[in-house]
Amino acid sequence: MKFAMIGAGAMGLRYGILLQEAGNDVTFIDTWQPHIDKIREQGGVYVMRDHKDRHLTKIKLETPETFDGHPDMFIFFTKQMQLQDYLDRCQHFFHKDQYAFTAMNGMGHIEKLQKYFADDKIIGATALIATVLPGPGEVDFMGKRGAGKMNMCPLNEKPDATCKELFNQLQKAQMNPTLTDDFTGTLMTKVIFNSVINTICTMFELPMGEFGNFPGAYQMGRQLIDEAYDICARAGIKLVSSRDEEMAALDHNTRIDMPLHYPSMYQDMTKDRPTEVDYINGYIADLGRKYHYEASTHLFVTQAVHLAEFHRQNLAKQRAIKAKQTETQTAEQAQTA
């Protein structure tokens, strides 16, 4: 198949490179200039797996303004708050015969995609796959080859030939896909998973294993999950796993599969980028209000993550002021001397 990967961040690179290695034609489209410059300077992306075997992989890279291809499918892997800008800048090469596939975190992206693609050409997915972008021009795939899994479902819940071919290519790329039959339930199940792992690990700056091994992890996770499942029951959303299965998945992923991994939300916060908490816990809380359910724990966690962001921003400002004062003092001392 012929793909265009919109967003060449950690997950975009992992999906795109593995699909490329499986024999597909992949072009990456990105807007982060230091990343673009580094990839072009190197002649590709440096790829690692669990911090080892660093090697250069050649890729085709364009910006929204330079791309003029006609792929079978666009894969969207941006942050929720970046998506609209990408869509605005890329819409000139969208055509009615093309598909949109996404496994982005959070909720809110599907409604944006519907403005550009027909419902029968949108495929949603969720991924339990860990990847890190250490810096411009390099990516670290976490876990051994074939680690992780994903669920996928077309928006109209009627898989056509193109959807099935995408499934086949993802299988070849060892992404371990499962084709489900409930679109909203599939996406919401992952949102609920992220509402525990991403936010708690981000607030306390913990790797996933440290949270999973904490004696109170079950109680903390269960409180968030119960609220979210209660809301989904009121909304008529059929989730693809039970509460107990979701708790078991949390336990397995934190303590066994990815104990050393820091979630993407943590990675964003530590690099002073906005987090997606409003599209995860905030989305669950907003959905609760719609159905007259006050998700007090999700509301608290949403604000707690914003407090952590606020604290880091203040620390950065204080460091900048201190650095400026030191610079001024040094200059004054040099003049006196």
pLDDT at 126: 96
Query: pLDDT digits over 116-167, tens only?
Result: 999 999 999 999 888 999 999 999 998 888 888 999 999 999 999 999 999 9
Query: pLDDT digits over 199-212, tens only?
Result: 999 999 999 999 99
Quick one: tokens of 8?
Answer: 């060449």
Burial (0-12, 13-18, 19+ Cβ within 10 Å), 261: buried
Taking residues 275-282, what's their average pLDDT?
A: 96
Rounded to an integer, what is the distance from CA 277 to the centroid of its chain? 12
Closest alpha carbon to 107 in 263, 284, 247: 284
- Calpha distance 95→118 (Å, rounded): 10
Query: pLDDT digits over 19-32, tens only?
Result: 999 999 999 999 99
pLDDT at 337: 65
Quick one: tokens of 96?
Answer: 């009615």
Q: pLDDT band for position 316 (50/70/90)?
A: confident
Q: Is the pLDDT of residue 326 over 90?
A: no
Query: pLDDT digits over 2-16, tens only?
Result: 999 999 999 999 999
pTM more than 0.85:
yes
Query: pLDDT digits over 212-259, tens only?
Result: 999 999 999 999 999 999 999 999 999 999 999 999 999 998 998 888
pLDDT at 319: 87
Q: What is the mean pLDDT of the chain?
A: 94
Q: What percentage of the chain carries pLDDT values higher than 70?
A: 100
* HEC sequence for 107-155: CCHHHHHCCCCCHHHEEEEEEECCEEEEECCEEEECCCCCCCEEEEEEC
Radius of gyration of the chain (CA): 21
Query: pLDDT digits over 172-188, tens only?
Result: 999 999 999 999 999 99
Taking residues 85-96, what's their average pLDDT?
A: 97
Q: Is the pLDDT of residue 62 over 90?
A: yes
Q: What is the phi-psi region of residue 141: left when phi exceeds 0, alpha when psi lies from -120 to 50, beta otherwise? A: beta
C-alpha distance from residue 39 to each of 30, 141, 271 (Å): 11, 17, 20
- Calpha distance 235→185 (Å, rounded): 11
Q: Residue 318: CB partners within 8 Å, gap ≥ 6?
A: none
